[in-house]
Amino acid sequence: MEGTEYGMMKKFAAAFCAFMILLTGCRSRENNPAQESSIGQNSVIASQLEAIEATTMPEHSVQEFGEPEAIMEYGGYFACKVLYPVTGIPEVDKVIAKWAKGLYEDVSEQVKEIRKTLKDATGTLTVNYNSYRIGERFASVEELGFYTYNGLAHPVEPVKVFNIDLKEKRIISGKELFTSQGTETVLKMLADKILETDASLASFVEEMNPQWLENALLKPDGIEIILERGGYLPGYLGTQRFFFSYEELGDSLAFASELGLTSSSSENEAAEPARAPASQAEIDPEKPMLALTFDDGPSASTARILSLLEQNGARATFFVIGNSVQNRAEVIRQIVEQGSEVANHTWNHLELTRLSEEEMKQEVQSTNDLVEKITGVRPIFLRPPYGSFNAQVKQNAANMGIPMVKWSVDTLDWESQNAKKVHDAIMRDAKNGSIILCHDLYSSTGEAMETVIPELIAQGYQLVTVSELLEHSQESIEAGMVYYSTTLKK
Ligand code: ZN
């Protein structure tokens, strides 16, 4: 974490210091003795900022699009760190930067104002962001802010979504994501979901209008409607998020065909015939297939899943933690013997965006070395822990010759630890070409597989490994790329 931040501060010291910010952070103080007198206070505020950030910011940010820029101020009574992406599309960057600077200036002004009556008041503002790449045409950014100062009744948590149409090189509003008929439908779906969580919100929901969709965020699998804390619903609820998969939204989407809703079987028909399967297993390229994947093992539950796979003539991919492989060499061998695949989930499950290239290499290669030593087969794919990566991680993976794999169906099995919920999530969202995320850490996930595996097969799916799945799609498998399904890579 430190490494990234220092790097960023250095980078921005040059760009921003000159025209807008008194930057007195860790780096600049070293060669700026004139500011010695305020260092004590600065570092107190800086550490407050870090403490606030640690409790309010999402633990793992996703930054799949754009390069981070920052507005920072660690001086005097106001500390701020506003992160936002630069996408390289001038029209888009202008809007995002304007929003970020606007928030910075606005909060900074509010703190100045309160100091007229509360002489010693101090304030902090932190803004982090997640950015996503969605198919070929879209990207999105969610800016998540948090600010507070003495005299403010409670902290404010501003949220701002930017959906980007890469084809037209412009930002599209949340409302534009839906057809006019679709807007009605989506508002109704949103109302239902809100009332499902709390029926007493009926009077708020009655006030609903298309403005509620302004922070509708495009994500790889669907649209998340974010309602800012205190914006439309009571403030005590905090910021509320409601997710709808692209399948669920269907005809309501204005860009359905570009959001992965075209039938993938018809796409395959137009493509070149599939190459021969890599394994001895028989795969019919004309029939639907998907890949079950299990992360964070091996564990006590892995053997049960393996025996279910074997009984059903199915295969899966296990993204293993090197650290856990040592004590379960036998089960790792069995994965390979059954024709399933062992893939890499690093040695220590650290967030790769916080590691140096050398550290990442160590995490990945030590795991591959051990798996190869046990099974004779070197893993091909890496799944970054927490699914978290950025441009640097991609570059490192490219340098190591490793493709990365995420997922298109998230069972949230770690959260529910409920076999029925895992089963229902898979049966609802699985489709041809899906990569399904599960964790073989939980016995509930093993239990879910008792029904999931036979039911998927009964529905006509071939359960294949990630290697087999990608080899049968028209995609080439490239180091440094990230694969989400057969139809989506980045
Ligand atoms: Zn994991």
Structural contact between residues 479 and 403, judged by C-beta atoms closer than 8 angstroms: yes
| Sign of the C-alpha dihedral computed for residues 88, 94, 98 and 99 taken in this order | negative
Average pLDDT over residues 270-278: 32
Distance (angstroms) between ligand 1 centre and the Cα of 364 equals 13
Cα–Cα distance, 464 to 291 (Å, whole number): 5
Cβ within 8 Å of residue 82, ≥6 positions away: 70, 71, 72, 100, 103, 104, 125, 126, 127, 145
| Sign of the C-alpha dihedral computed for residues 166, 167, 169 and 170 taken in this order | negative
Residue 428 C-alpha from the chain's centroid: 21
Closest CA to 327 of 297, 353, 306: 297
Q: How is the beta sheet containing 170-172 ordered, strand by strand?
A: 67-73, 78-86, 123-134, 138-149, 159-165, 170-172
Q: Give the pLDDT score at 454.
A: 97
End-to-end Cα spacing for the chain: 25
Bridge partners, residue 258, by sequence:
none
- Whether the model pTM is above 0.85: no
Task: Transcribe 81-115 into DSSP letters.
Answer: EEEEEE-S-HHHHHHHHHHHHHHHHHHHHHHHHHT
What dihedral do alpha carbons 394, 395, 400, 405 form, nearest 10°?
10
Task: Transcribe 332-368 into DSSP letters.
Answer: HHHHHHTT-EEEE--SS---GGGS-HHHHHHHHHHHH
Distance (angstroms) between ligand 1 centre and the Cα of 42 equals 37
Q: Which residues are identified as catalytic?
A: 295, 439
Is residue 110 very low, low, confident or very high in pLDDT (cuts 50, 70, 90)?
Answer: very high
Distance (angstroms) between ligand 1 centre and the Cα of 386 equals 6
Average pLDDT over residues 265-294: 61
Is residue 42 very low, low, confident or very high in pLDDT (cuts 50, 70, 90)?
Answer: low
Alpha helices in 18-89 (DSSP H): 26-30, 39-56
CA atoms within 13 A on the CB side of 102: 9
Distance (angstroms) between ligand 1 centre and the Cα of 143 equals 25
**Residue 84 exposed, middle or buried by CB count within 10 Å (0-12, 13-18, 19+):** buried
Structural contact between residues 338 and 309, judged by C-beta atoms closer than 8 angstroms: yes
Distance (angstroms) between ligand 1 centre and the Cα of 350 equals 9
* The Cα angle at residue 400 between residues 374 and 345, in degrees rounded to 5: 50
Q: Kindly report, residue by residue over 322-380, the tens digit of the pLDDT.
A: 999 988 899 999 999 999 999 999 999 999 999 999 999 999 999 999 999 999 999 99
Residue 362 C-alpha from the chain's centroid: 24
Q: Kindly report, residue by residue over 219-262, the tens digit of the pLDDT.
A: 988 999 999 888 888 888 888 999 998 888 988 998 887 776 54
Please state, rounded to an integer, the average pLDDT across all residues of the chain. Answer: 83
Distance (angstroms) between ligand 1 centre and the Cα of 181 equals 40
Q: Give the pLDDT score at 45.
A: 63
Structural contact between residues 222 and 246, judged by C-beta atoms closer than 8 angstroms: yes
pLDDT greater at residue 57 or residue 246: 246
Q: Give the pLDDT score at 25.
A: 33
Distance (angstroms) between ligand 1 centre and the Cα of 410 equals 12
* The Cα angle at residue 135 between residues 132 and 140, in degrees rounded to 5: 30
Distance (angstroms) between ligand 1 centre and the Cα of 346 equals 9
Cα–Cα distance, 449 to 423 (Å, whole number): 7
Q: Kindly report, residue by residue over 202-224, the tens digit of the pLDDT.
A: 888 988 988 899 999 999 889 99
Distance (angstroms) between ligand 1 centre and the Cα of 320 equals 8
